[in-house]
Amino acid sequence: MSEVKMSDERRMQKRFKAAEGAFAALVDQESRLGQIKDISSHGLSFRYIDSHEKLANASELKIILGNQGLYLDKVPFKIISDFKIQSEFSFSKVHMRQIGLKFGELTPGQRNRLDRFIKHHTIGEAE
């Protein structure tokens, strides 16, 4: 899997920390689910357990609120970055990755739901 990392200078939109219980899922034959780290009107990043399977076939992005279920479905996206995260615990056998996604062209309904998500399910600006 590629080790592409995006520099902070490329981000033009404010990013917001997602509230606890906000998840993203990339769906293909084997889904990747992880907690959203940050989100903006143009994209998001989330962390997931590295299964060593390529994400090249992922065709659908879902945004999920743990206590409310599916929030936003069939979000078009492009993978911008995907890199391994160093574990705080050297003995851990679980390896984590962080993926950055840029949203594609959203429908007016998707844009409206995304704006509401940012307004009601984030907890301040991301660093």
Q: Where are the domains of the chain?
A: 13-125
Res. 2 pLDDT band, cuts 50 70 90: very low
**Residue 118, C-beta contacts closer than 8 angstroms, at least 6 positions apart:** 16, 39, 40, 41
pLDDT in tens, 75-97: 999 999 999 998 776 667 788 99
| Helices marked H in the chain | 108-120
Select from 68, 2, 6, 66 the least CA-distant residue to 40.
6
Tell me what percent of the chain is helix, strand and coil, each rounded to the nearest 5: 15, 45, 40
pLDDT for position 55: 66
Domain 13-125 part of CATH 2.60.120.380: no
Q: Tokens for 69?
A: 């279920």
Provide the mean pLDDT of the chain.
86
pTM of the predicted structure, to 2 decimals: 0.83
C-alpha count within 13 angstroms, C-beta hemisphere, residue 113: 15
Phi, psi dihedral angles at 21 (to 5 degrees): 90, 10
